[in-house]
């Protein structure tokens, strides 16, 4: 009826509790034949070690933590996270690790959660998303002694390994594609400037504009919401000599931009080309369907989990770049109607 304990397994296998623990955790201290017998007995009894007891005895919690900072008004960015979490879970559950997911409404709560996790031995390591430049969470994690993996561009200092996709490469693919179509004025509706990956994209965008000799390459920052994306779009399109193509930092803003353009009487892609980043179901569903920078977010999550697990295993965890997002051309991009020569 009640779940078997390690003592039950020990009794059934005719060994001590210690031997069972060693066998289960793959440690030296038991002969191979005994180990096999113990494992078989545990399996037969349906034994699983109690996590609380393990944690209390100082063993790894077999869990990793992830906090998600979501101010109420920015709930739109989610497709990325759901897919990321799916990828993380896939890899973690494969190794019998649990994922503790904690949503917080402000950044202070985030480090408070880390401290509680440390105190409770609740997790063995943590995954860090939405990295800021000079992120305050990193020193806290270090102080707490948590192995960590950053999901995003490698933070300065190089102390914590990261899994990232090279946004500069992706942006180059998008901008070169637009330039090849004949666009000379390309605008960018960016996300939150404090985020490390936003900074990388901004820098790459400026560099590309120079290299390709674009006539204009304006950039407006937003909070990722639809209304703010609409505002940015109006701002960009209202200028003298407005851009003929716009690259958006998320799907919701790209859709908002499409709507604004249509309201302004501009045809997409005739008068304005639109590129969304990341891709999502909405991008495929609107009309015209949006050209997007697509990546395998699930794989991204799996890779991040693998890296953290490696680090927990004591193996060296070195940052890796996953496949960059690549362009999926759809109906929202075309040559500008009246290519200019300036």
Partner DNA sequence: CTGAAAGCGCTTACAG
Task: Identify the residue among 152, 155, 226, 336 touching a copy of itself (CB under 8 A).
Answer: 226
Does residue 44 bind a copy of itself (CB under 8 A)?
no
Query: What does the DSSP assignment read for 257-324?
Result: HHHHHHHTT--TTTT-EEEEES--HHHHHSSSPPEEEE--HHHHHHHHHHHHHHHHTT-----EEEPP
Query: What does the DSSP assignment read for 19-60?
Result: HHHHHHTT-SSS-HHHHHHHHHHHHHHT----HHHHHHTT--
Query: What does the DSSP assignment read for 146-171?
Result: --EEEESSPPTT--S-EEEE-HHHHH
Does residue 321 bind a copy of itself (CB under 8 A)?
no
Q: With CB under 7 A as the contact rule, which of the stretches 29-37, 214-222, 236-244, 275-283 interacts with DNA?
A: 29-37
CB atoms within 10 A of CB 92: 22
Does residue 100 bind a copy of itself (CB under 8 A)?
yes
Closest alpha carbon to 49 in 59, 35, 64? 59
313 binds, among DNA, a copy of itself, none (CB under 5 to 8 A by kind): none
31 binds, among DNA, a copy of itself, none (CB under 5 to 8 A by kind): DNA
Complex with a copy of itself: residue 34 or 109, whichever CB lies closer: 109
Helix (H) or strand (E) holding 203: helix 196-212
Task: Identify the residue among 7, 36, 262, 267 touching DNA (CB under 7 A).
Answer: 7
In the complex, what is the shortest distance from the CB of residue 221 to a copy of itself, in angstroms, rounded to a whole number?
19
In the complex, what is the shortest distance from the CB of residue 220 to a copy of itself, in angstroms, rounded to a whole number?
17
Site for DNA in 45-84 (CB under 7 A): 47-50, 53-54, 56-59
Question: What CA–CA distance (Å, rounded) separates 322 from 164?
Answer: 6
Complex with DNA: residue 73 or 315, whichever CB lies closer: 315
Question: What CA–CA distance (Å, rounded) separates 132 from 195?
Answer: 4
Closest alpha carbon to 227 in 202, 257, 250, 203? 257
Contact residues toward a copy of itself (CB under 8 A) are: 3, 48, 50-53, 55-56, 61, 70, 72, 75-76, 78-79, 82-83, 85-86, 89-90, 93, 98-105, 109, 116, 119-122, 225-227, 230, 252, 255-256, 258-259, 262-263, 281-282, 284-287, 298
Contact residues toward DNA (CB under 7 A) are: 2, 5-7, 14-22, 24-25, 27-32, 34, 47-50, 53-54, 56-59
């Amino acid at each position: 009826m009640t779940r078997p304990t390690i003592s039950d397994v020990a009794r059934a296998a005719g060994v001590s509790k210690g031997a069972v623990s060693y066998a289960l955790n793959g440690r030296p201290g038991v002969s191979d034949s005994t180990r096999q017998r113990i494992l078989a007995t545990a399996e037969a009894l349906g034994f699983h070690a109690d996590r609380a007891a393990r944690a209390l005895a100082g063993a790894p919690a077999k869990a990793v933590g992830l906090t998600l900072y979501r101010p109420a008004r920015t709930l739109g960015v989610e497709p990325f996270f759901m897919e990321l979490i799916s990828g993380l879970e896939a890899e973690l559950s494969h190794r019998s690790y649990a994922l503790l997911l904690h949503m917080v409404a402000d950044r202070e709560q985030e480090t408070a959660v880390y401290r509680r996790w440390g105190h409770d031995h609740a997790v063995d390591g943590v995954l860090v998303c939405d990295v800021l430049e000079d992120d305050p969470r990193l020193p806290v994690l270090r102080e707490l002694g948590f192995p960590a993996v950053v999901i995003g561009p490698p933070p300065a200092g190089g102390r914590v390994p990261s899994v990232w996709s090279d946004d500069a490469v992706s942006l180059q693919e998008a901008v070169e594609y637009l330039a090849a179509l004949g666009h000379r004025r390309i605008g960018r509706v960016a996300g939150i400037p404090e985020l490390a990956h936003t900074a990388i994209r901004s820098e790459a965008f400026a560099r590309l504009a120079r290299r390709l000799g674009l006539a204009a390459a304006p950039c407006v920052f937003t909070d990722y919401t639809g209304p703010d994306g609409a505002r940015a779009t109006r701002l960009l399109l209202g200028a003298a000599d407005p851009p003929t193509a716009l690259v958006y930092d998320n799907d919701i803003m790209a859709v908002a931009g499409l709507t604004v353009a249509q309201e302004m009487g501009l045809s997409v892609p005739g008068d304005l080309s639109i590129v969304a980043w990341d891709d999502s179901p909405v991008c495929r569903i609107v009309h015209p369907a949006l050209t997007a920078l697509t990546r395998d977010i699930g794989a991204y999550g799996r890779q991040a989990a693998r890296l953290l697990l490696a680090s927990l295993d004591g193996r060296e965890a070195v940052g890796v770049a996953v496949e960059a997002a690549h362009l999926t051309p759809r109906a929202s991009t075309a040559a500008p109607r009246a290519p200019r020569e300036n």
